[in-house]
Amino acid sequence: MTTVTTKQVLACMEQWAPMELAEGWDNPGLLVDCDRPVRRILTALDITGAVVQEAAEKGCEMIVCHHPVIFQPLKRLTAASLPMKLAQAGISAVCMHTNLDAADGGVNDLLAARFGLTEVEPFAVLGRVGTLPQPMDAVELAELVSDRLNTPVKWVDGGTAVRRLALVGGAAGGMWTDAMAAGADALLTGEVSHHAALDAAGEGFTLMAAGHFGTEWPVAEEIARRLGEAVPGVEVLVSETNRDPFDYL
């Protein structure tokens, strides 16, 4: 089995999602570097205790994921801290966040492809807006979203047909005004606040929330596919334990 360094894996990810695409408040990059040769990589949306244990059990020296395992400044480390768990297990972590949202072929382009959008354009840097294969009302769109993403959906019905759909994975309900300004009839995102929903309803704009996990999970498989091509000989696995932290009735 081939080995690569942690920095070589980081360079492969940076070719896809350059750091300059990240928002200023973000913290992407090689966040835990155990400086071990990498033979096997686990990809995930999030690094959780279960994901660290899975990586260790599967003999992975690295996890590559979307959400940063270190986001706020660390003031102390404990045995329960995820960075500590990673270091103790000798597992490095590369996390690509808003730069992977904005990247060509990243989180939001994957969403656009999943819904067959055409004439896709960026909006507000991170997002994408494109034309659906056929116009549909809010209920039809919600059913499509639930089916394509295998996730529960809640929505504000703007009362008009949706032709141009804006997409932003994660927590971007406040971007509905940007989506409307970009010519969209609706915004699909992960999380929407109560007040954003009220405001969108008042403007007759369809706003759809399909969960943070629900709108971003496809990127773990795409990371695995791309790393598998970029670093042949290194085994790349998709996490089987990373799941939506919410349960639903």
Whether residues 108 and 81 share a domain: the answer is no
CB atoms closer than 10 angstroms to residue 218: 18
In a domain, 247, yes or no: no
- Asked whether the predicted pLDDT for residue 1 surpasses 80, the reply is no
Instruction: Give the mean pLDDT of 98-103.
Output: 98
In a domain, 225, yes or no: no
In a domain, 131, yes or no: yes
Whether residues 172 and 193 share a domain: the answer is yes
Contacts for 98-101: CB closer than 8 Å, 24+ residues apart: 98/21, 98/22, 98/23, 98/26, 98/28, 98/126, 99/17, 99/18, 99/19, 99/20, 99/21, 99/22, 99/26, 99/28, 100/16, 100/17, 100/28, 100/66, 100/219, 101/126, 101/168, 101/169, 101/170
- Asked whether the predicted pLDDT for residue 97 surpasses 90, the reply is yes
Q: Which residue range(s) make up the domain with 165?
A: 104-215
Whether residues 124 and 169 share a domain: the answer is yes
The pLDDT of residue 30: 98
In a domain, 55, yes or no: yes
In a domain, 246, yes or no: no
Whether residues 32 and 64 share a domain: the answer is yes
Considering 97, 132, 162, which residue would you say is the last residue of a domain? 97
The helix (H) or strand (E) run that includes residue 124 is none
Whether residues 80 and 121 share a domain: the answer is no
Whether residues 174 and 110 share a domain: the answer is yes
Tokens (6 digits) for 180: 């409307």
How do residues 190-243 score in pLDDT, each as one tens digit? 999 999 999 999 999 999 999 999 999 999 999 999 999 999 899 999 999 999
- pTM for this structure? 0.95
- Asked whether the predicted pLDDT for residue 2 surpasses 90, the reply is no
In a domain, 58, yes or no: yes
- Asked whether the predicted pLDDT for residue 27 surpasses 80, the reply is yes
Whether residues 133 and 82 share a domain: the answer is no
How do residues 32-52 score in pLDDT, each as one tens digit? 999 999 999 999 999 999 999
| Average pLDDT value for the chain | 97
Whether residues 111 and 205 share a domain: the answer is yes
Whether residues 85 and 129 share a domain: the answer is no
The pLDDT of residue 249: 86
Whether residues 47 and 147 share a domain: the answer is no
Whether residues 91 and 114 share a domain: the answer is no
Considering 50, 65, 97, which residue would you say is the last residue of a domain? 97
In a domain, 241, yes or no: no
Considering 50, 71, 97, which residue would you say is the last residue of a domain? 97
- Asked whether the predicted pLDDT for residue 168 surpasses 80, the reply is yes
The CATH number assigned to the domain holding 210 equals 3.40.1390.30
Instruction: Give the mean pLDDT of 17-26.
Output: 97
Whether residues 116 and 140 share a domain: the answer is yes
- Please list, residue by residue across 122-147, b when 16 or more beta carbons sit within 10 angstroms of its beta carbon and e when fewer do: ebbebbbbbbbeeebebeebbebbee
Query: What does DSSP say about strands 29-32 and 40-44: parallel, antiparallel, or unpaired?
Result: unpaired
| ∠ Cα 120 186 143 (to 5°) | 100
How do residues 66-84 score in pLDDT, each as one tens digit? 999 999 888 999 999 999 9
CB atoms closer than 10 angstroms to residue 246: 11
In a domain, 233, yes or no: no
The pLDDT of residue 39: 97
As for how many domains the chain has, the answer is 2
